[in-house]
Amino acid sequence: MTRGDDRRVSASFCLANARLVLDDRVVTGKLCVEDGVIAEIREGADVPAGAVDCGGDFVLPGLIELHTDNLERHIQPRPGVDWPHVAALLAHDGELASCGITTVFDAMRVGSIHSGKGRYAQYARGLASEMMALRGAGAMRISHFLHLRAEICSETLLDELAAFGPEDRVGIVSLMDHTPGQRQFRDLAKMKQYVAKKRNMSDAEFDAHVAHLKGLQAEYGIRHEAGAVEEARRIGAVLASHDDTTEDQVARSGALGVGFAEFPTTVEAAEACREQGIAIMMGAPNVIRGGSHSGNVSALALAEFGLLDILSSDYVPSALLLSAWRLGALWDDLPRAVRTVTQAPARATGLTDRGALAEGLRADLLRVEPFGDAPVLRGVWSRGCQVG
């Protein structure tokens, strides 16, 4: 599938004397762009007249981000603080561009809770419309799709999903079940540390919140899961699972038609994903920190076991490029690592017009200078337009 985006298209230019990170090797060469696509790739260190001499810097495809909470951080920078949406959307777009992300599937929660201290208000439909309006006006630097986080443990999931259609560029619907006592929140003490602090809950309020969520799951869980799967089919989105922990949960994901698993929490779950043919996505911050902040399996351990296909920046946009660099050192294979943040996420979401340096693909490009063990961005292009 190819899905057009971005009203601005660049003039012609050429990046030369660069280390081009191709699918399976790194070569010194030049890359030329015409009308927003890669027109030519040639090996050699020559610098034609008018070309940019990259001085041996790396050139690689623009990063593709499948799951980021960054937009919500801009919309609500502090609990109870609602920021103007247009300003927040543009700041989010600019921040991602500055980190080398040229395609993003913006995560928005669907499914709300209207009672109790842990209530969550509906927001996705209105925010998505504002984003699409900005995109239609050519105000966005990079390519935006939607990732609807379908909260199974909620009151209004199916009504909220029904408000979206094929025209909304929903690329992913992920099945999220945050019922206490399983998946990410198997350890109630860790859940309390996270949720009670974020929501300023007393012990009694947290206990009531847990009981309320368990009740919602019992009342709506089966219907919400089945309905979310059907809605994903209706709007043409790829289905993802979230926080699979056991082999049985992965088997259920496979039966539902899940294409990739977000952040499996155990080696057992990751191994089951591999057996089911489900792509495995882990968090870039997990790679950088050397472990999960919530006590789940280490992404580096999965990488060493050959059980990591895709990286997501999750809650730190700048982590995506750095984590790929770290994986490149771990595997001693930079092209393989770069594929986890470019080609693999493109394939997982059916995007065939980007994700690699190849003639005829979108000119979503990064120029990167290595600085010790860290990559320094020297240029970012989205469909041939320099955006960073």
- pLDDT tens column, 267-300: 999 999 999 999 999 999 999 998 887 678 999 9
Res 214: pLDDT: 72
SS3 301: helix
314 neighbors 67 (Cβ within 8 angstroms): yes
SS3 68: strand
180 neighbors 191 (Cβ within 8 angstroms): yes
258 neighbors 240 (Cβ within 8 angstroms): yes
Which tokens is 147 given? 């990732």
The reported pTM is: 0.91
Beta bridge partners, 367, equal 59, 379
Burial 164-191 (b: 16+ CB within 10 A, else e): beeebbbbbbbbbbbbbeebbbbeeeeb
Domain with CATH 2.30.40.10 in the chain: 1-62+354-388
Which tokens is 5 given? 């985006």
pLDDT, block means (10 residues), the chain with 388 residues: 53 95 98 97 96 98 97 90 96 98 97 70 94 95 97 90 97 86 61 61 71 74 92 98 95 97 96 98 95 85 98 96 97 98 98 98 97 94 95
Q: Supply the mean pLDDT for the chain.
A: 91
Q: Is 230 exposed, middle or buried (0-12, 13-18, 19+ CB in 10 A)?
A: exposed
In the 8-state DSSP scheme, what is residue 231? H
Res 2: pLDDT: 42
Q: For the chain, what is the HEC assignment?
A: CCCCCCCCCCCCEEEEEEEEECCCCEEEEEEEEECCEEEEEEECCCCCCCCEECCCCEEEECEEEEEECHHHHHHCCECCECCCHHHHHHHHHHHHHHCCEEEEEEEEEECCECCCCCCECCCHHHHHHHHHHHHHCCCCCCEEEEEEEEECCCCCHHHHHCCCCHHHCEEEEEEECCCCCCHHHCCHHHHHHHHHHHHCCCHHHHHHHHHHHHHHHHHHHHHHHHHHHHHHHHHCCEEEEECCCCHHHHHHHHHHCCCEEECCCCHHHHHHHHHHCCEEEEEHHHHHHCCCCCCCCCHHHHHHCCCCCEEECECCCCHHHHHHHHHHHHHCCHHHHHHCCCHHHHHHCCCCCCCCCCCCCECCEEEEEEECCEEEEEEEEECCEECC
Res 217: pLDDT: 78
Vertex 9: Cα angle to 4 and 12 (nearest 5): 130
Amino acid at 136: G
Fold topology of 1-62+354-388: Urease, subunit C; domain 1 (2.30.40)
Q: What is the 3-state composition of the chain as percent helix, strand, coil, each rounded to the nearest 5?
A: 40, 25, 35
103 neighbors 62 (Cβ within 8 angstroms): yes
Give the torsion through C-alpha atoms of 72, 347, 102, 77, to 10 deg: 10
Domain with CATH 3.20.20.140 in the chain: 63-351
Fold topology of 63-351: TIM Barrel (3.20.20)
Determine how many CB atoms are found less than 10 A away from the CB of residue 316. 18
